[in-house]
Amino acid sequence: MIRRRSGSRRFLAAGLLLLAGCGGEPPAPVEPAATAAGLDTVSVRRAPVARETAFDGIVEAVNESTVAAQTSGRVVELPFDVGDYVPKDAVIARLTDSEQRARVEAARGTLAEARARLTEARLNYDRTKDLQQRQLIARAELDRASATLDSAEARLEAAQAALEEAEEQLGYTVIRAPYAGTVVERHVQMGETVTPGRTLLTGLSLEHLRVVVEVPQQHIGPLRVHERARVLFNGSSVEASELRIPPKADVTTHTFRVLVSLPEGDHGVFPGTLVKVAFVSGETERLLIPAGALVERGEVTGVYVVAADQVSLRYVRTGTPTAEGDVPILSGLHDGDRVATDPIAAGIAYKSRAEASRGEA
């Protein structure tokens, strides 16, 4: 056995000398098709982030109301139906107004008569006052003229109030949208006769939304301290503009009904949908990486870790993305690891390295 090994060594040495004599060199190892040198990486570092506690919540519209009739009439116009967008102050219903217009004309006539009576009473009072000052009539005549003047002034005020009321009733025949929104239900049809209090349309505004969250009593303390939250939906998050925490809990469920307001605008969520609300409850340190560095492989999430000229795919467990768009890493990475920021380029390098390794084998 020893002689065979010595023979093999002599054979290998002779082969190397032969190559040297021919001016050749020993063969170099096979390099990978793509190396890690050309990849953009980021170093994984611990950073302070907000510690959050998430709860389910239901989106609701801040402005949601049902418009009702305030006068009697027959519906002659309904320009909007369910699902239609309605601008602010747009006409959403119109009623017949012949009766209301008649009342306005009658009130205007009564007002004109009251003004004439007042003018007559004022002239009579001035004449009576002049005669009484010259002691041509008794004081009682002046008192009667003064009472007549006061009565005429009161009738004028009543006539003015009656006219304003009649004009207001006439205005109620045209119903306008109190705010911009969308019709969600129509309660009447064309040609129906309505009376005061009859519901006409129900609408809501998608520009002012909030989330209702039932928070257990053991979590309400940190919420009162920090008063910050994010609404999570559709893979993104929106910082809450306002938190309203009630001063008491529900006596049945022992939870606090917290109202989380969203900023104005269209966020792609609708009333009645279920979302997550992450409330800030403190601060902690986490390993953070950009969200774009993550790789999805079915139900598993990973990243490409770069070390020297090696690229490896490492599976990780992630937390809730931060408001800045970074992703906390709960397990799978260590402080100081370098992660490829372009998963596509890193995947190509990883595959090329694997093919090169198979070629060497």
Which of residues 174 and 33 earns the better pLDDT score? 174
- Listed by start position, the domains of the chain span 41-61+207-360, 69-96+173-204, 97-172
In CATH terms, the fold of domain 69-96+173-204 is: OB fold (Dihydrolipoamide Acetyltransferase, E2P) (2.40.50)
The answer on pLDDT for 239 being more than 80 is: yes
pLDDT attached to residue 251: 93
pTM of the shown model: 0.62
The answer on pLDDT for 6 being more than 50 is: no
- Residues 7 and 227: their CA atoms lie apart, in Å, by 82
pLDDT attached to residue 360: 62
Contact 332, 305 (CB under 8 A): no
Which of residues 218 and 25 earns the better pLDDT score? 218
Q: What is the pLDDT of residues 144-171, one digit of tens each?
A: 999 999 999 999 999 999 999 999 999 9
- Residues 290 and 359: their CA atoms lie apart, in Å, by 34
Which of residues 135 and 155 earns the better pLDDT score? 155
CB burial of 55-85 (b: ≥16 within 10 Å; e: otherwise) equals bebebbbbeeeebebbbbbebeebebeeeee
The answer on pLDDT for 32 being more than 60 is: no
- Residues 219 and 203: their CA atoms lie apart, in Å, by 35
Query: In the predicted model, what is the mean pLDDT of residues 322-341?
Result: 85
pLDDT attached to residue 5: 38
pLDDT attached to residue 25: 39
pLDDT attached to residue 3: 39
Contact 341, 18 (CB under 8 A): no
pLDDT attached to residue 70: 94
pLDDT attached to residue 16: 32
Residue carrying the six token digits 């938190």:
243
pLDDT attached to residue 359: 64
Which of residues 195 and 39 earns the better pLDDT score? 195
Where does the pLDDT of residue 4 fall: very low under 50, low under 70, confident under 90, or very high at 90 and above?
A: very low
Top-level class of domain 97-172: mainly alpha
DSSP 118-180: HHHHHHHHHHHHHHHHTTSS-HHHHHHHHHHHHHHHHHHHHHHHHHHHHHHHHHTTEEE-SSS
Angular region, 243: left φ>0, alpha ψ -120 to 50, beta rest? beta
pLDDT attached to residue 310: 81
DSSP 285-350: EEEEEEGGG-EEETTEEEEEEEETTEEEEEEEEE-PPPTTSEEEEEES--TT-EEES-HHHHHHHH
pLDDT attached to residue 287: 86
Domain 41-61+207-360, classified CATH 2.40.420.20, yes or no = yes
Evaluated on CA atoms 52, 269, 208, 271, the torsion sign reads negative
- Residues 354 and 333: their CA atoms lie apart, in Å, by 22
Q: What SS3 class is residue 110?
A: helix
Q: What is the pLDDT of residues 50-98, one digit of tens each?
A: 888 999 999 999 999 999 999 999 999 999 999 999 999 999 999 999 9
Among 174-178, 285-289, 322-326, name the most confident range.
Answer: 174-178
Q: How far is residue 89 from each of residues 65, 86, 152, 179, measured CA to CA in Å?
A: 15, 8, 40, 7
> How many residues in the chain?
361
- Residues 317 and 315: their CA atoms lie apart, in Å, by 7
Question: Which positions ≥6 away from 229 have C-beta within 8 Å?
Answer: 223, 239, 240, 243, 260, 277, 278, 279, 280
Q: What is the pLDDT of residues 254-271, one digit of tens each?
A: 999 999 999 988 888 899
The answer on pLDDT for 135 being more than 90 is: no
CA atoms within 13 A on the CB side of 331: 2
Q: What is the pLDDT of residues 178-230, one digit of tens each?
A: 999 999 999 999 999 999 999 999 999 988 999 999 999 999 999 999 999 99
Residue (of 57, 319, 74) closest to 190 by Cα position: 74
What are φ and ψ of residue 197, in 5° steps?
100, -10
Q: What is the mean pLDDT of the chain?
A: 84
Query: In the predicted model, what is the mean pLDDT of residues 102-130?
Result: 94
Among 69-78, 130-139, 296-305, name the most confident range.
Answer: 69-78
Token pair of 352 as six digits: 């090329």
